[in-house]
A and B are shown apart, each in its own frame.
Chain A
Amino acid sequence: MNAPTGQRMRKTLACTAAANAYQKAFGAELKRRVVDDGEPFAIVQADTPHEIFHVMDIPIITNQWWSAYISAKQLSARYFQVMTDHGFPENSCKYCSLGFACTLANDPATAPWGGLPTPTVLVARLTCDCIQHVFQQWAQAMNTDFFPMEAPAWEAKVPRWFEQSRTNWDAVYQPDRIAHMVAEMRDLIALLEKKTGRRFDEEKFHYLMERINEQEGYIWEANQALAKARPCPVSIGEQMSNTMIPQWHRGSDWAVAHAKSFRDEVLERIDQGLGAAENEQLRLMWIGAGVWHDPGFYQALEERLGAVFVWSMYMPFAGPQYIREIKGRPMDALASRICSMNEVLHLPPWMNSWMESEAERCGIDAAVVLLPPDNRLSQSGTRLTALSLEQAGVPVLMIDADMVDAKNWDHAKMVGLVSDFLQEKGLA
Chain B
Amino acid sequence: MIASVGAEVPYDLLAATGRYAGPLRWSIDRDFPHAAQWLESKFAPWVFSILEDWASGALDELDMVVLTRADDNAQRLYYYLCEMQRQGLIGGPEPVLFDVAQISRGTSLEREVRAVRALAERLGVTDAAMETQIRATNIQRASIPVSTAGKRTCLLAGTPPPDRRIHAMIEQAGWAASGKTLAELWSDPGPLVEEGTGDPAAALARQIHGGRVGNRSFADRGVLVVEEMRAAGAQAAILWYGEEDEALVWHLPSQRRALEAQGVPVLVLTRRDWRGQDDAAEQIAAFLGDLPQ
Measuring CB to CB, which residues of chain A are less than 8 angstroms from any residue of chain B?
86-93, 126, 128-130, 132-134, 136-137, 148-150, 152-153, 155, 157, 159, 176, 180, 183-184, 187, 347-349, 352, 371, 373-377, 379-380, 382-384, 387
Q: Evaluate contact between B105 and A187: CB separation under 8 angstroms.
A: yes
Q: Evaluate contact between A153 and B75: CB separation under 8 angstroms.
A: yes
Q: Which of B40, B69, B107, B253 is within 8 Å of A88, CB to CB?
A: B253
Q: Evaluate contact between B99 and A129: CB separation under 8 angstroms.
A: no
Q: Which residues of A contact B83 (CB under 8 A)?
A: 157, 348-349, 352, 384
B26 sits at the interface (CB 8 A): no
Nearest CB of chain A from residue B43's CB, rounded to whole Å: 7
Q: Evaluate contact between A347 and B246: CB separation under 8 angstroms.
A: no
Q: What's the dominant secondary structure at chain A's contact region?
A: loop
> How far apart sit A55 and B119, CA to CA, in the bound complex (Å)?
39
Q: Which residues of A contact B253 (CB under 8 A)?
A: 86-88
Q: Evaluate contact between A180 and B246: CB separation under 8 angstroms.
A: no
Q: Which of A137, A184, A347, A373 is within 8 Å of B42, CB to CB?
A: A373
Chain B residues 178-206 with CB under 8 Å of chain A are none
Given contacts A86-B253, A89-B249, A349-B82, 11 further A-B contacts (CB under 8 A): A128-B246, A129-B73, A129-B216, A129-B246, A133-B251, A150-B108, A152-B111, A153-B75, A153-B98, A157-B86, A159-B86
22 contacts between A and B (CB under 8 A): A89-B249, A91-B270, A92-B250, A129-B73, A130-B246, A136-B218, A137-B254, A152-B99, A153-B99, A157-B82, A157-B83, A176-B114, A348-B83, A349-B86, A352-B83, A371-B40, A373-B42, A379-B40, A380-B40, A382-B40, A383-B38, A384-B80
Q: Which residues of A contact B169 (CB under 8 A)?
A: none
Nearest CB of chain A from residue B61's CB, rounded to whole Å: 24
Q: Which of B37, B114, B243 is within 8 Å of A91, CB to CB?
A: B243
Nearest CB of chain B from residue A99's CB, rounded to whole Å: 15
Q: Evaluate contact between B244 and A376: CB separation under 8 angstroms.
A: yes
Q: Contacts A128-B72, A379-B40; is A153 near B97 (CB within 8 Å)?
A: yes
> How far apart sit A150 and B110, CA to CA, in the bound complex (Å)?
12
Q: Evaluate contact between A130 and B99: CB separation under 8 angstroms.
A: no
Q: Which residues of A contact B111 (CB under 8 A)?
A: 150, 152, 180
> How far apart sit A87 and B75, CA to CA, in the bound complex (Å)?
29
Q: Which residues of B contact A88 (CB under 8 A)?
A: 249-250, 252-253
**In the complex, which residue of chain A has the Cβ closest to the Cβ of B104?**
A148
B212 sits at the interface (CB 8 A): no
> How far apart sit A349 and B79, CA to CA, in the bound complex (Å)?
7
Nearest CB of chain A from residue B278's CB, rounded to whole Å: 14
**In the complex, which residue of chain A has the Cβ closest to the Cβ of B247?**
A129
Which of B39, B73, B111, B244 lies at the interface centre, i.e. has the most chain A CB atoms within 10 A of its CB? Answer: B111
> How far apart sit A379 and B114, CA to CA, in the bound complex (Å)?
31
**In the complex, which residue of chain A has the Cβ closest to the Cβ of B96?**
A155
Nearest CB of chain A from residue B191's CB, rounded to whole Å: 21
Nearest CB of chain A from residue B270's CB, rounded to whole Å: 4
Q: Which residues of B contact A347 (CB under 8 A)?
A: 76, 79
Closest 4 CB pairs of A and B: A133-B250, A348-B83, A379-B40, A87-B253
> How far apart sit A183 and B110, CA to CA, in the bound complex (Å)?
11
Which of A90, A136, A150 lies at the interface centre, i.e. has the most chain B CB atoms within 10 A of its CB? Answer: A150
B103 sits at the interface (CB 8 A): yes
Nearest CB of chain A from residue B8's CB, rounded to whole Å: 13
Q: Evaluate contact between B241 and A89: CB separation under 8 angstroms.
A: yes
CB-CB contacts of B26-67 with A at 8 A, as 1s and 0s? 000000000001111111000000000000000000000000
Q: Which residues of A contact B99 (CB under 8 A)?
A: 152-153
Q: Evaluate contact between A380 and B252: CB separation under 8 angstroms.
A: no
> How far apart sit A184 and B101, CA to CA, in the bound complex (Å)?
12
> How far apart sit A379 and B83, CA to CA, in the bound complex (Å)?
17
B133 sits at the interface (CB 8 A): no
Q: Which residues of A contact B250 (CB under 8 A)?
A: 88, 92, 130, 133-134, 137
> How far apart sit A373 and B42, CA to CA, in the bound complex (Å)?
7
> How far apart sit A152 and B216, CA to CA, in the bound complex (Å)?
12
B12 sits at the interface (CB 8 A): no
Q: Evaluate contact between B244 and A132: CB separation under 8 angstroms.
A: no
B271 sits at the interface (CB 8 A): yes
> How far apart sit A148 and B105, CA to CA, in the bound complex (Å)?
10
B131 sits at the interface (CB 8 A): no
**In the complex, which residue of chain A has the Cβ closest to the Cβ of B75?**
A153
**In the complex, which residue of chain B has the Cβ closest to the Cβ of A155?**
B97
**In the complex, which residue of chain B has the Cβ closest to the Cβ of A383?**
B38
**In the complex, which residue of chain B has the Cβ closest to the Cβ of A348?**
B83
Q: Evaluate contact between B41 and A379: CB separation under 8 angstroms.
A: yes
Q: Contacts A155-B97, A376-B76; is A184 near B86 (CB within 8 Å)?
A: no
> How far apart sit A373 and B41, CA to CA, in the bound complex (Å)?
7
> How far apart sit A151 and B148, CA to CA, in the bound complex (Å)?
41
